[in-house]
Amino acid sequence: MEGERRAFIPNLNMHDYGFDEIRIHGNECLMEYLFMWKGEILLKNETYGLAYLRLGDKRWEKTTSLIDVFLKTYQHKHSSLYTTVKDNINEYGFDEIRITIKPRYKTSSASGDEWRIGHRYTFMKNGVILIKNDSEGISNLRVGEKKEGNKIFIKDMFKKIYDSNKFSELLIGKDNICDQLGCSNQSTITLKLKYLYDDSGEKTDPYINDKRPLIRKFCDRHSERGDCGYEDSDENYEIIHGNIIPPLKEDISKSHQIFL
């Protein structure tokens, strides 16, 4: 078979932002937002300061300032340093936030295994990591006024500014970089998809009109795909190159089970 096609990155129905990391730094009034994808800077944008950056639920009925997220966590871990930190520049104690996608390998004897996505907020000061906090996802992060007023999702800010003609290119694997969301390692295994599946679980044959292999690439750490899903599962792949390696212990988290 001649040539190959790259498939969409798995789980994009949940995370089709076009970026997998945001770096926010600056001062109280004005912040620079760096939107990144697979380790590369896609877009720079200056907008509201830290005081206007808030987490909220899907309906935006309950919100939390990222400043409060930091102070609450830092005070708990370093109570003796809290007063000094609070009195520091901008009264925040940090000058940069990095929000990254954090993959975890969910295991369950009932529903099967698969890679799932969380988000990690890293608060930094002068390049030094102060704390890491796993919290609400990027989809619930908005910039807006403290009280009533215009608010915009971070992901919508990106889509509004970024070249729409290039956006779809971000959702397809690139070069030899791992296709796992939140990973920018070099791939070590190439897998050919057997079938494509839609949201209802209906499968289609991607080789009726195009015989070229439809592939995804992963690094050792994310090469095992599990057995929970339809399309992104070990059963739906044929190995073209490389070997499947079990996930690292630090990436594995057991699914919560309820017994009736």
End-to-end CA distance of the chain: 52
pLDDT of residue 11: 73
82: Cβ contacts below 8 Å, ≥ 6 apart: 71, 74, 75
Given a cut of 60, whether residue 76 has pLDDT beyond it is no
The residue ranking higher by pLDDT, 236 or 35, is 236
d(CA 72, CA 15): 28
Can you give the C-alpha Rg of the chain in angstroms?
21
Among 198, 32, 228, smallest CA distance to 111 is for 228
Kindly report, residue by residue over 3-43, the tens digit of the pLDDT.
889 998 887 655 566 788 888 887 656 778 888 888 888 88
Kindly report, residue by residue over 159-179, the tens digit of the pLDDT.
777 777 777 777 888 889 999
Given a cut of 90, whether residue 96 has pLDDT beyond it is no
Specify whether the CB–CB gap between 239 and 31 falls below 8 A: no
Given a cut of 60, whether residue 150 has pLDDT beyond it is no
d(CA 85, CA 89): 8
Residue with tokens 């940090």: 94
pLDDT of residue 260: 42
DSSP state of 258: -
What b/e sequence results for 128-143 when a residue is b if at least 16 CB atoms lie within 10 Å of its CB, and e otherwise? eebbebebbbbebbbb
pTM value? 0.77
pLDDT of residue 83: 45
Distance of CA 249 to the CA centre of its chain: 20
**Out of 95-99, 122-126, 146-150, 163-167, least confident range:** 146-150
Given a cut of 50, whether residue 198 has pLDDT beyond it is yes
Q: Write down the domain spans for the chain.
A: 5-13+169-254, 21-162
Q: Band the pLDDT of 236: cuts 50, 70, 90.
A: very high
pLDDT of residue 1: 45
Distance of CA 181 to the CA centre of its chain: 6
d(CA 74, CA 99): 17
Tokens for 27?
């001062």
